[in-house]
Amino acid sequence: MKRTHINIGIIALVTGIFLLEYYLISSYIKEMFQYTLIEVRNDAINNEIEQFKMYLIENFVFLSLQSVGMFLCLNIGFLYFKIKTSFKKILNLIIFSLLSVVVNQFLIILIIKLNNWTFTTGSINTANEKLNLANYINIEKTVPWIKLSLTSSNLGQFLILILLGISIHKIIKIKYNRAFSLALRTYGLGILLWFVFAMVMEMNFG
């Protein structure tokens, strides 16, 4: 399969998972308010859809900034380690890493369904917090910078590192062990620097 087709498929999956969430929210609100006045039902749907739009905008902005950061980290890393590549291949790496969004959003839907929560934007945000590493590690007695790093980390970021390692191996044609090492030393280092920056900002202005 051509790389272009794979990229289109990945973007379609990302779009599809958010459309599925939109459908599930709309269906839940319609079912919940099916016996109320149509004006009340429409108001509830519109309010929920507005919240979901904000959720989509936040995700779009975050993914855009993340992609730019990843592009810079990979470019600098490949130049430093003297690995010949191209703009197109780096773009392919970034698009492949978007599969982490699909997995993350699917897990959010799964968490909501397994817990029998109401399917709303609020539930999506709550389920997303469940994927935060701080929920599974006792951080009360840890030093501030580790605590902040854990509260800022979720499953999606680890998935990105794994997917980057796989895609560097497949696209750049580098052995697996070196590919994962490069992923850690490029994008992984970028995440670490972001944590340090966030910690400094939190300690000075928080």
For residue range 60-83, what is the model confidence (pLDDT) as tens digits? 998 888 888 888 888 888 888 888
Q: Which two tokens stand for residue 117?
A: 């929560």
81-93 tens-digit pLDDT: 888 888 899 999 9
d(CA 13, CA 19): 10
Percentage of the chain modeled with pLDDT above 70: 82
Could you tell me where the beta strands, DSSP code E, fall in the chain? none
> Which residue would you say has higher pLDDT here, 156 or 173?
173
Host H or E run for residue 155: helix 155-171
d(CA 24, CA 120): 8
Per-residue pLDDT band for 108 (boundaries 50, 70, 90) equals very high
Q: In Å, what is the CA distance from 9 to each residue of 6, 13, 16, 156, 169?
A: 5, 6, 10, 19, 20
Q: What are phi and psi of 155, to 5 degrees?
A: -60, -35
| Residue 198: HSE in the Cβ half-sphere, 13 Å Cα cutoff | 16
pLDDT at residue 148 above 60? no
Per-residue pLDDT band for 139 (boundaries 50, 70, 90) equals low
Q: In Å, what is the CA distance from 61 to each residue of 64, 67, 101, 117, 129?
A: 5, 10, 13, 27, 19
Q: Which two tokens stand for residue 206?
A: 């928080």
Q: How confident is the model at residue 160, as a pLDDT?
A: 87
